[in-house]
Amino acid sequence: MSALNINGREYTVDVDPSTPILWTLRDTLGMTGTKFGCGAALCGACTVHLDGQAIRSCVTPIAAAQGKKITTIEAATNGSDPVGTAVHEAWVKHDVAQCGYCQSGQIMSATAFLKAQPKGKQPTVAEIDSAMAGNICRCGTYARIRAAVADAAKALV
């Protein structure tokens, strides 16, 4: 049995401690907003936050989450997180999603990136590209992703 804090709520799950966070979220808890992409931490579709840091949940075992807080796309975009809300609104404004499959991971990476910025700092294009480089978009909406992250940063000033 593992005790997990997910989106501010305590859960107890009966899974092997080596089970990836992704499968615990999706298969055990029914939280399907976090997506499976590659299974090797290469595409970013499975990105969640672990104590505020963007991590790849497909390769991170739940044992690594003991005593830490997991935040998923469900909490980042439900309106209670100002940064997640700003990112989500910018995503819609810039019509970022095409197929949409990578978007939860993209939004989680962008949210973690902007939360790590000093208050009021406007990131450069190079900083945004560097922060988002670990997330693959098969549809190629990188210019819209970049614009949305920059727009969200402006909205947070």
For residue 78, the model assigns a pLDDT of 95
Domains of the chain, CATH where assigned: 2-76 (3.10.20.30), 78-155 (1.10.150.120)
Which amino acid is present at 96?
A: V
- Please report, to the nearest 10 degrees, the dihedral formed by the alpha carbons of residues 78, 83, 89, 91 taken in order: -110
pTM of this structure: 0.95
> Which of 48, 61, 49 is CA-nearest to residue 15?
61
pLDDT in tens, 19-57: 999 999 999 999 999 999 999 999 999 999 999 999 999
Q: Are residues 48 and 25 in contact, defined by beta-carbon separation less than 8 angstroms?
A: yes
pLDDT in tens, 61-71: 999 999 999 99
For residue 9, the model assigns a pLDDT of 97
For residue 107, the model assigns a pLDDT of 98
